[in-house]
């Protein structure tokens, strides 16, 4: 079968070896998937370790309290630092991955609003109920996780993103298990649950990225 | 049997060019319906704008990709996306490549 020589094959003389083509196809697909991935496995693994360390530190500071009066200022500072680092790194990586991309990969303003409301609303409701004191800090940790996890799962289901849907459900289950563990136990259960969720998500994404 | 008679002639000549293979494989890595800006694609492929335009034009003529221009203030942003036809062509090309390499 003869084809008209293609001037845009310059440098390859039109003879592009099929083995080279297969290698190039695999390499390009793998690189592109990595570039466009909004969550990187290495970042998720780091977040898993950090959340375990942050919530574990709080649990160590509250586990012997009878009655429970909540974590000290230094422990809360560790948690606040984790939340800020986590949020900043996630947004930066996502922004880099979706630079120049438009369409379904990007969240719509409505989706962003739903997530922000899902995270803030539980604090507002708990404040209205008067459940915001230090002795309710376990509740303040777990209830927003349940609501935000379910909201994330619902948004992901609408997008038919079943991996993210699973992550959202795992976060919600972690929050529920933490809530059942009591005020002090909530910190340990939530730390372990979120760590496992993040590690599991990292493993699934790493597998997806490696499958060219 | 097709496996034993597959030749390089079975490979879509429009895709079987290193640069165009990279372009179409990169665009296919995006979810269906997503578009990519010309500048990001250029960064990923590592081509000069002129070269990239030549290859994109060829792919667009075959309806493998679509492009559109949008105005953003004074600047205009060109975006490209793989079409359903282009995705199918890449699938056919990949299968042909597998058959060919399996027969070698």
pLDDT tens sequence for chain A (212 residues): 444 444 445 444 457 889 999 999 999 999 999 999 888 899 999 999 999 998 998 899 888 888 888 787 887 788 888 888 888 888 899 889 999 998 887 888 899 899 889 888 888 887 777 766 666 777 788 888 999 999 999 999 998 889 999 999 999 999 999 999 988 899 999 999 999 999 999 999 999 887 75
Which residue is it, tokens 């679509």?
Answer: B66
Contact A118, A175 (CB under 8 A): no
Instruction: Give me the phi and psi of A24, to 5 degrees please.
Output: -65, -40
| Of A207, A170, A202, A156, the residue nearest A40 (C-alpha) | A202
- Backbone torsions φ then ψ of A28, nearest 5 degrees: -65, -45
- The closest CB to that of A8, out of B33, B54, B101, belongs to B54
Judge: A28–B17 Cβ closer than 8 Å, yes or no.
Answer: no
What are the backbone dihedrals phi and psi of residue B67, each rounded to the nearest 5 degrees, phi first?
A: -135, 155
Q: Are A136 and A114 in contact (CB under 8 A)?
A: no
Question: Cis ω on the peptide bond leading into residue B56 (within 30° of 0)?
Answer: no
Q: What averages of pLDDT result for each successive group of 10 residues across chain B (104 residues)? A: 59 93 96 92 94 95 93 85 96 92 72
For the question of whether the overall pTM of this predicted structure is more than 0.90, the answer is no
User: B102 contacts in A (CB within 8 Å)?
Assistant: none
pLDDT for residue A2: 42
- Inter-chain contact A21–B18, Cβ cutoff 8 Å? yes
Element spanning A24, H or E:
helix A18-36
Check if the interface score ipTM surpasses 0.90. no
Q: Is B80 left (phi over 0), alpha (psi -120 to 50) or beta?
A: beta
**A12 CA to chain B: closest CA distance, Å?**
8
Contact A101 B97 (CB under 8 A): no
Residues forming a β-bridge with B37 = B79
Task: Report the pLDDT value the prediction gives residue A61, as an integer from 0 to 100.
Answer: 86
Tokens of B84: 């359903």
* Strand ordering across the sheet containing A101-102: A101-102, B35-37, B75-82, B65-72
CB-nearest to B58 from A8, A12, A25 is: A8
**Angle at Cα B87 formed by Cα B15 and Cα A16, nearest 5°?**
15
Cβ contacts (< 8 Å) between B47 and chain A: which residues? none
Give the closest of B13, B25, B37 to A6, CB-based: B13
According to the model, what pLDDT value does residue A133 have? 64
């Amino acid at each position: 079968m003869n084809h008209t020589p293609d001037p845009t094959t310059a440098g390859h003389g039109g003879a592009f070896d099929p083995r080279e083509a297969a290698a190039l196809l695999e390499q390009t697909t793998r690189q592109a998937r990595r570039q466009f991935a909004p969550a990187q496995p290495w970042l998720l693994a780091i977040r898993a370790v950090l959340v375990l360390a942050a919530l574990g530190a709080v649990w160590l500071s509250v586990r012997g309290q009878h009655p429970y009066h909540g974590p000290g200022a230094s422990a809360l500072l560790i948690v606040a630092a984790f939340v800020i680092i986590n949020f900043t790194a996630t947004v930066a990586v996502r922004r880099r991955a979706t630079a120049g991309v438009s369409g379904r990969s990007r969240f719509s303003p409505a989706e962003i609003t739903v997530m922000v409301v899902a995270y803030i609303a539980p604090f507002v409701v708990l404040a209205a109920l008067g459940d915001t004191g230090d002795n309710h800090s376990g509740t303040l940790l777990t209830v927003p996780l349940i609501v935000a996890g379910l909201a994330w799962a619902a948004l992901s289901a609408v997008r038919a993103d079943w991996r993210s849907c699973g992550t959202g459900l795992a976060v919600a289950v972690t929050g529920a298990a933490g809530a059942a563990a009591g005020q002090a136990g909530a910190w340990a259960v939530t730390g372990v649950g979120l760590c496992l969720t993040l590690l599991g998500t990292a493993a699934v994404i790493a597998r997806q990225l490696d499958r060219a | 049997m097709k496996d034993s008679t597959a030749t390089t002639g079975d490979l879509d000549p429009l895709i079987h060019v290193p640069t165009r293979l990279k372009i179409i494989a990169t665009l296919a890595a995006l979810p269906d319906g997503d578009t990519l800006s010309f500048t990001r694609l250029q960064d990923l492929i590592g081509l000069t704008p002129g070269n990239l335009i030549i290859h994109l034009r060829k792919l667009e003529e075959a309806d493998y990709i679509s492009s559109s221009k949008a105005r953003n203030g004074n600047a205009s942003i060109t975006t490209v996306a793989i079409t359903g036809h282009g995705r199918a062509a890449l699938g056919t090309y990949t299968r042909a490549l597998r058959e060919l390499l399996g027969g070698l």
